[in-house]
Amino acid sequence: MGRPPLLSEEELQQALEELPLWQREGKSIVREFVLPNFAAAVGFLNAIAIVAEAMDHHPDVLLYGWNKLRVMLSTHDRGGITALDVALAKKIEQLRF
């Protein structure tokens, strides 16, 4: 099964309305998370990894400071944002940290 097509501007705007904490940055959607401590940040990163692996769709994640995660979603082989990115963002939003 192939990857989904890039979202149109209208589809992307609608998706971002459903994901108000996510921002568009170029060809990605991005969210910053601030966790209570380093262990919580690593634990949340691991939870994201499990969800992403199950979807076979992997985000770029930056762990910085001692408690912050920056999650960047893009469908690399499509060169932009697809429904897979939106679906993964929604699953990440359902995780508790």
The three-class DSSP label of residue 34 is: strand
pTM: 0.94
Per-residue pLDDT of the chain (97 residues; tens, 9 = 90+): 467 899 999 999 999 999 999 999 999 999 999 999 999 999 999 999 999 999 999 999 999 999 999 999 999 999 999 999 999 999 999 998 6
Alpha helices in the chain (DSSP H): 9-18, 38-55, 83-94
Let me know if residue 49 belongs to a domain: yes
Query: Bridge-partner residues for 32, per DSSP?
Result: 70
Neighbours of 63 (CB within 10 A): 16
> By residue range, what is the domain housing residue 59?
9-94
Q: Quote the number of domains for the chain.
A: 1
The CATH number given to whatever domain includes residue 47 is 3.30.1360.20
Let me know if residue 3 belongs to a domain: no
The three-class DSSP label of residue 13 is: helix
